[in-house]
Amino acid sequence: MNAALGHSGVLLSLAASVMGVVVIAYGLARSRPALARTGRIYAALVLLGAIVATVAMERALITHDFSLAFVAANNSRSTPLLYTITGMWSALAGSILLWGLILAGYIAAMVWRFRRQGADPLVAWATLVTLVVAAFFFGLMAGPADPFRTVAGAVPANGLGPNVLLQDNALVAFHPPILYLGFVGFTIPFAFAIASLITGRIGEGWQLATRRWTLFAWAFLTVGIVLGAWWSYQVLGWGGFWAWDPVENASFLPWLCATAYLHSVLVQERRGLLRVWNLSLVIATFSLTILGTFLTRSGVIASVHAFSDSDIGPLLLGFFGVVMATGVGLIAWRGDRLRSPGGIDSVLSREGAFLVNNLLFVAFAFVVLLGTVFPLLYEAFRGQQVTVGAPYFNAMTLPIGLALLLLMSIGPALPWRKTTTSTLRDRLAVPAWVGAIVIVACVAGGVRGLGPLVAFGLGGFAAAANVRQLVLSARGAHRSGAGVWRGLVGRANGGMVVHLGVVVIAVALAAATSFGHRSEVTLRPGQVASSDGHRITFEGLTQIRTPARTATEAIVLVDGRGPLLPALSQFGANTEEVGTPAIDSSLEDDVYLTVDALPVKANGPVTIGVTVQPLVVWLWGGGLLLVLGSALAAVPGKRRRPTDPVSAPVPAVETGDGSSGSGDATGASRPVLRRARPVVESGESGESGDDKPAQEPVPAGSP
């Protein structure tokens, strides 16, 4: 029953996406807008199929339908309800189903958002691209990653339950779906990038129209990454939160590209520059999500997520190859004609800062990618196995991170086009003093070490510079009678709050990695030990027995607070014991406790691992600031013009310098030379960036 329902859902989605691709392609080829706009019907059907499949899967999980191989492998009668529900994404096939559901939701939202422009070839192309992606993922589910495969032979009376590490913390309910909302969301901007390349209508502001989609996806990806780090910290018991694991890198790579894009697209919006570059970043972001999924799901590269090893690797790799070849090929075909004329006047300008920002982010992404695939490279050429560990990543990314902090301080203070050193001095004097004071205060407070001191100083500098922008913006809003809160919403101000979150995270990373310390204490009940300035009191052991979990807990007091209960836990019978850490958090530092050895005989000593790391809570606080800032950025700021990118088709030749006609693949109606958006058509007349009304309050230009 569940299997039949699920299979029909998957097949409906697959058939609808394939049909949609065929019909839209036919409509585009024959210039029949009526056909091209049927995409919305297929999008609705894809969503319907995905919902049916998801309902079938959840129903099977909740009713413990062990006739499904996936349920038998990832659920048991003793699994608590929460982990029964999250069981859907605790292994590969179900994760792909979640991916499909989210993708279908995004596609439906996209066709609904652009429903009035459904006949526009560009929207039709974008819909087609998203349906191709949907066809790939539902094809995986119909074939090699079938979540509804039934067990061979007798139906087991009970299932095995999810991976023990996935039934320990409620974060598993949030981390994967949120991460997927980020990953999958990049499909929409990617589709529009491909569509604008195919139609040659790169200068019309479609990219700006899809910028919000990127921002949305970026925000979820950010939260997903932070939650992943938090989960790793709370559950795995090694005291760390980021291991430069290939899968972590796989989520971090698209994040870096998307972050670069969110900055450089502002240059396109204000100055009409970097158009092809922005398209490349969007395409790279999406390609990297597919590559990341491949690295996660193929077992090619060693990773903590290896429990989801599978054989869909070659298909994902092939899809990555197709996506990348398509994107790169289109850019090779169209890129040179579509490049914006004009250039950046001065490096000491806002757009110059964005350019440096982009170079840094791309270098960052390159360093991470190289570190991730280096073991494969080395093995291919030298035949030996090596691993690239945290030292490489730390050493390589530290200078880039510091440079980004510095840029984050200076960038927001720079006006567009050019500036003078005296302006810069006026705007940066106070933040620079704050940075200097932070360094002095840290040295006085006993902090030593060049790296962390530079990080703290730059953190103070950047924080002050961004707070200054927010204060100016709020004051401006207040003076114009709009209310102070008006100065805190909108993209620019939300961006400043996001910057503050990044500063907090950077400071926390510097502190935790530089001054964290790990030790072990061996104590008998009632004994006290001192570890890194904390008093650890071991009171005794207790046994916990619940249907889901059997555990031996150590009762520990930290500086008299507690009790904290680090434990050795067993989730369900016949599973291995895993350590369950306990954490005493404060604003100042975290004391992270694990049971490292239980007594051999009764009342013997227990070995407790004690990891003390400063400012870890700041990481999660910084994550909250990122969420807050993204939310503020989503609220329209004042003076915002409606984003309506609709226009008559403008041929590619119009946007360039008049080189030969384009091979317009759309067959769409030929040029109606109406200027769509002055923003991007402004060419190199330098004034354009300055005298058109700003789309957002830009505080830096206004003090």
Which residues in the 470-529 window bind other proteins by CB under 8 A?
A: 518, 520
Cα–Cα distance between 570 and 575 in angstroms, integer?
6
Cβ proximity to other proteins: between 377 and 528 the closer is: 377
> In the complex, what is the shortest distance from the CB of residue 24 to other proteins, in angstroms, rounded to a whole number?
26
Nearer to other proteins, 124 or 551 (CB): 551
674-677, Cβ contacts within 8 angstroms, sequence gap of 24 or more? 674/647, 674/648, 674/650, 675/650, 676/203, 676/204, 676/205, 676/645, 676/647, 676/648, 676/650, 677/203, 677/204, 677/205, 677/208, 677/645, 677/647
Residues within window 118-137 making contact with other proteins, judged by CB under 8 A: none
Among candidates 447, 564, 573, which has minimal Cα distance to 511? 447
- The nearest distance, CB 200 to other proteins, in angstroms, is 13
CA atoms of 361 and 351, how far apart (whole Å): 15
Positions 205 through 244 that interact with other proteins (CB under 8 A)? 232, 236-240, 243
- Joined together, the tokens standing for residue 21 give 């691709």
458: left (phi over 0), alpha (psi -120 to 50) or beta: alpha
Q: Which among 81-89, 161-169, 482-490, 532-540 is the span making contact with other proteins, rule CB under 8 A?
A: 161-169
Q: Distance (Å, rounded) from C-alpha 403 to C-alpha 513?
A: 18
- Indicate the DSSP class of residue 159: -
542 binds other proteins (CB under 8 A): no
Which of 54, 214, 268, 358 is close enough to bind other proteins by CB under 8 A? 358
Minimum CB separation from other proteins for residue 299, in Å? 7
Contact flag: residue 320 with other proteins (CB under 8 A): yes
Contact between 79 and 64 under an 8 Å Cβ cutoff? The reply is no
Chain centroid to CA 33: 36
Give the shortest CB-190-to-other proteins separation in angstroms. 13
Interaction residues for other proteins, span 562-591 (CB under 8 A): 568, 573-579
CB of 236 to other proteins, least distance (A): 5
| CA angle (391, 397, 399) in 5-degree steps | 115
Among 294, 416, 456, 461, binds other proteins (CB under 8 A): 294
Q: Whole-number minimum distance, CB 289 to other proteins, in Å?
A: 12
Residue selected from 213, 277, 364, 416 as contacting other proteins according to rule CB under 8 A: 277
Q: Is 544 in the site for other proteins (CB under 8 A)?
A: no
Query: In angstroms, what is the minimal distance from the CB of 669 to other proteins?
Result: 27
Residue 29 amino acid letter: A
Q: Which one of the spans 77-85, 281-289, 402-410, 663-671 is the region binding other proteins (CB under 8 A)?
A: 281-289
Interface segment toward other proteins; rule CB under 8 A; list 79-87, 185-193, 361-369, 643-651: 361-369
Nearer to other proteins, 130 or 594 (CB): 594
- Report the residue number, 336 or 690, with the smaller CB distance to other proteins: 336
Footprint of other proteins on residues 600-629 (CB under 8 A)? 600, 607, 609
From 95-103, 110-118, 131-139, 315-323, give the range in contact with other proteins by CB under 8 A.
Answer: 315-323
Nearer to other proteins, 520 or 539 (CB): 520
Query: How far is the first Cα of the chain from the last one, in angstroms, to the nearest whole number?
Result: 67
Mind giving me the DSSP string for 513-538? HHH-EEEEEEE-TT-EEEETTEEEEE
Tell me: does residue 536 bind other proteins (CB under 8 A): no
Among 52, 101, 225, 331, binds other proteins (CB under 8 A): 331
State yes or no: residue 325 binds other proteins (CB under 8 A): yes
Among 26, 63, 82, 341, binds other proteins (CB under 8 A): 341
Residue 589's nearest CA partner among 618, 613, 611 is 613
Q: How many residues bind other proteins (CB under 8 A)?
A: 94
**Among the listed residues 587, 588, 571, the one whose alpha carbon sits nearest the alpha carbon of residue 579:** 571
Q: How far is the CB of 635 from other proteins (least distance, A)?
A: 31
327 interacts with other proteins by CB under 8 A? yes
Please give the backbone phi and psi of residue 163, each rounded to the nearest 5 degrees, phi first.
Answer: -45, 135
CB of 193 to other proteins, least distance (A): 11
By three-state DSSP, how is residue 68 classified?
A: strand
| Lookup: tokens for 147 | 């979540």
Contact with other proteins (CB under 8 A): which of 283, 360, 668, 700? 283
3-state DSSP call for residue 536? Answer: strand
The residues that bridge with 620 in the sheet, in sequence order, are none
Interface with other proteins, residue 681, by CB under 8 A: no
Q: Which amino acid is at 498?
A: V
Q: Exposed e or buried b for every residue in 546-576, given b needs 16+ CB within 10 A?
A: eebbbbbbbbbbbeeebebbbbbbbbbeeee
CB of 28 to other proteins, least distance (A): 24
Contact 565, 554 (CB under 8 A): yes
Restricted to residues 381-440, the positions that interact with other proteins (CB under 8 A) are 385-387
CB 182 within 8 A of CB 218: yes
Residue 169: CB minimum distance to other proteins, A: 13
Exactly one of 82, 170, 376, 528 binds other proteins (CB under 8 A); that residue is: 376
Using CB under 8 A, pick the residue from 109, 173, 317, 447 that binds other proteins: 317
The yes or no reply on residue 287 touching other proteins (CB under 8 A) is yes
Other CB atoms within 10 Å distance of the CB of residue 240: 18
Instruction: Work out whether 380 is an interface residue with other proteins (CB under 8 A).
Output: yes
| SS3 (DSSP) at 535 | strand
Tell me the sheet residues that pair with 579. Answer: 568
Residues 492, 263: Cα–Cα separation, whole Å: 11
Kindly tell me which of 387 and 480 has the beta carbon lying closer to other proteins. Answer: 387
Stretch that binds other proteins, among 41-49, 157-165, 468-476, 690-698 (CB under 8 A): 157-165
Residue 140 within binding range of other proteins, rule CB under 8 A: no
- Closest by CA to 491, choosing from 282, 277, 638, is 638
Nearer to other proteins, 130 or 232 (CB): 232
Which has the closest alpha carbon to 654: 619, 684, 681, 694?
Answer: 681
What part of residues 16-75 is at the interface with other proteins (CB under 8 A)?
none
Residue 284 contacts other proteins per CB under 8 A = yes
Quick check: 548 binds other proteins (CB under 8 A)? no
Give whole-number Cα distances, 87 to 220, 365, 374, in Å. Answer: 21, 32, 33
Quick note: the x/- pattern for other proteins over 623-662, rule CB under 8 A, is ---------------------------------xx-x---
Q: Minimum CB separation from other proteins for residue 302, in Å?
A: 5
CA–CA gap between residue 408 and residue 424 (Å, rounded): 14
Which residue from 362, 430, 447, 628 is in contact with other proteins, where contact means CB under 8 A? 362
| Interface stretch with other proteins, choices 107-115, 171-179, 183-191, 305-313 (CB under 8 A) | 305-313
* Inter-axis angle of helices 246-271 and 275-298, nearest 10: 170
Q: Does 366 bind other proteins (CB under 8 A)?
A: yes
Hey, is 31 helix, strand or coil? coil
Identify whether the C-beta of residue 679 lies closer than 8 Å to the C-beta of residue 203: no
Nearer to other proteins by Cβ, of 58 and 309: the residue is 309
Q: Which of 543, 507, 484, 534 is nearest to 621 (CA)?
A: 507
One-letter amino acid of 91: A
Binding of other proteins by 373 (CB under 8 A)? yes
DSSP 695: S
